[in-house]
Structure 1
Amino acid sequence: MKAYVIEQAGGPEALQLRDIPAPQAGPDEVQIRVRAFGLNRAEAYLRAGKTGAIDGPRVPGIEAVGEVVADASGTFRVGQRVATAMGGLQFGRTGSYAEEIAVLRSNVIALDGTALSWEELAALPQAYLTVWGALVRTLAVQAGQTLLVRGATSSVGLAAVTYAKVLGLRVIGTTRSPAHAERLVRLGADEVVVDNGDIAPAVRAIAPAGVDAALEVVGAATLRDTIRTLRPFGAVTVIGLLGGPPVLEQFHLMQDLPGATQLSFFGSGLLGTPALPLSSAPLRTIAKGIAAGRIPSLRVETFNFDDVRRAHSLMESNQAQGKLVVVV
């Protein structure tokens, strides 16, 4: 099969299209013919050597949609449309930049009854499953609450805005560029704050008592400021690291963490584990909502399989303002 292989760290040119053996599904796995996949920062970090040394050929990719080729358990039928994310993809197993993958059965979600194209479906798994895990399972948000999305113009930030509106939340989104404010409003943000690095006063002007919950997509660089927007007993969950390494220098529990507030980190590596099974994940509901026009699409550009290098260049330029997908 054809797959992109990384043999040494580098820029987009490090992605080499090669013929390699297709992985064979084990007893706890499902083999999938990949039809499309979304691009994620995790793949760029792997390619650049930021997630550890590349000590052997690696196939990147942490999500995909496609058709079942084989499932020894019979849980999924041959030809069934499915989505998958995480479960060791690109780290412990061949990633999704390939024509076929073998993935953990616990990380496969059936897409029966969805009318979306492969390219639209490919924009969903990683972003929406991460947001679901953070908002519903970690922050336990409730309809009517106010949510701050710090870094709302990233693909996962945009998914947070749209899914939060599905859940009935009031959403405040941030962007560093005033030119992107209109897009956030179209996707559902009730208020937009231009991020100058110190947004707490502006957020407090909108929500004087503080926000109920916050999703921190930028990461450690802005976390202290985001925490200052919370009401007592409010909570913030970090889901992104766009602002650099996940390290807080000299974090003072009494001065930096307001009284009775909660700080957590949601890692999407939990998806599909016993701690976070995907049986109740809302992916099919979201797909149907997009098909019906009730939920806006996050996809902004589609690339062919032989154009992945250019897709990576666009992703790293920070100009995409939405989800990039590749059809295989």
Structure 2
Amino acid sequence: MKAIVITEPGGPEVLQIREVPAPQPTGSEVLIKVFAAGVNRPDVFQRKGNYPPPPGAPQDTPGLEVAGIIEQTGPDVTGWKPGDAVCALLAGGGYAEYALAHEGHCLPVPEGFGSEAFIQAASLPETIFTVWHNVFQRGRLLAGERFLVHGGSSGIGITAIQIAKAFGAEVFATAGSDEKCAACDALGADRSINYKTSDFEEVLRKLGADVILDMVGGDYIPKNLRLLREEGRLVFINTMKGGKVKGADEVDFSLIMRKRLTITGSTLRNRGTAFKAALASEIRANVWPVLERGAFKPVIFRTFPLADAAAAHALMESSDHIGKIILLNQWT
């Protein structure tokens, strides 16, 4: 089969088409004929050599989420059959004609997505798994609480805004332009802050937040702690500005005691099979009905042929997009 391979650590140009052996499902695996694959920030980190795949995952082909048709099933698969339309969370290997997934990490393509069902479905697994676990399981967001997501126009951001709003939270977001803030507002954010022209801490100081989802880190850390209300929860999923606070702004850990704050975070890719399967089951029960009644809609910024994965990565790194970037299998 054809696949996109990271030929060496480096820039987008190191992503090249190669002929590789097609995988074969064993045990509880399914083989998916890929129609579309989502592009995510961890794919970029892997391409640069900074985010190695877990043992057993494809080592040279990125891609953490796909949508397509099940082609074959392993001997222990009970929940799916050839011909089923699914989207799936992968440990890697999604930028290819075919990809393997554990049966427990697959979800049905939501009903009502229409002619672009596979494109929209391919945008879901990585972001929804991440948001549900971090915002609702670790962050314990409840209806009526105030929720702040940084990077509101990213794939994670657009997902977090819509799901949090659907579950009754008051939603704030930060983004890097007025256009991106307007997009966040259109998705349901009650207030969006352009972090390039305003200090989000100053804007939200009187309101505060109960849960903050942070993918930025760095100098956002002390600001987040000061914004959190009593019993607030700060959840990290990335530290794009660094995991340490530099400069004059210090972290006042007495805030954690006085306000009884919780600081937590997670990464998803290296979690075990059983954990991801349990997460998928909870998502199917709680989030899929939200999708199917139209309260949460995927936002697709642009699609590229798989052969143009390098261009898709360049766009991802530019941060000029609002929503998801999707690769289409032109060989299907």
TM-score for both structures, normalised by structure 1: 0.87
Which position in structure 2 is the counterpart of 1:309? 310
- Deviation string for 1:237-293 (max 9, x for gaps)? 1123332x434579857346462001000222376743451112145334424xx4x
Which position in structure 2 is the counterpart of 1:132? 132
- Deviation string for 1:48-82 (max 9, x for gaps)? 122259xx960111111111112222321101011
Which position in structure 1 is the counterpart of 2:78? 74
Which position in structure 2 is the counterpart of 1:35? 35
CA distance in 2, matches of 1:301, 1:58: 24
Residues 63/271 of structure 1: CA separation in 2 closer, same or farther (3 Å cut): farther
Matched pairs, number: 313
Q: Is the 8 A contact 1:198 1:225 kept in 2?
A: no
Q: Secondary structure at the match of 1:158?
A: helix
Residues 52/306 of structure 1: CA separation in 2 closer, same or farther (3 Å cut): closer
- Deviation string for 1:111-160 (max 9, x for gaps)? 36454421111111111221111122111111111101122122111211
1:224 maps to amino acid: P
2:243 maps to amino acid: P
CA distance in 2, matches of 1:42, 1:48: 10
Residues 272/110 of structure 1: CA separation in 2 closer, same or farther (3 Å cut): farther
CA distance in 1, matches of 2:223, 2:20: 47
Which position in structure 1 is the counterpart of 2:325? 324
- Deviation string for 1:180-216 (max 9, x for gaps)? 22111101100112225843222113x1xx3111111
**5 Å matches for 1:116-265?**
116=114, 117-196=117-196, 198-205=199-206, 207=207, 210-243=208-241, 245-247=242-244, 254-255=253-254, 257=256, 259=258, 260-265=260-265
RMSD across aligned positions (CA): 2.4
CA distance in 1, matches of 2:165, 2:34: 31
CA distance in 2, matches of 1:78, 1:247: 48
List runs of 5+ in structure 1 lacking aligned partners.
Answer: none
CA distance in 1, matches of 2:110, 2:299: 21
CA distance in 2, matches of 1:307, 1:258: 50
Q: Secondary structure at the match of 2:134?
A: helix
1:299 maps to amino acid: I
Residues 265/115 of structure 1: CA separation in 2 closer, same or farther (3 Å cut): same
1:38 maps to amino acid: G
> Between the two proteins, what is the percent identity of the paired residues?
27
Q: Secondary structure at the match of 1:182?
A: helix
Residues 41/4 of structure 1: CA separation in 2 closer, same or farther (3 Å cut): same
TM-score for both structures, normalised by structure 2: 0.86
Q: Which moved more, 1:233-242 or 1:314-323?
A: 233-242
Which position in structure 2 is the counterpart of 1:65? 67
Which position in structure 2 is the counterpart of 1:104? 102
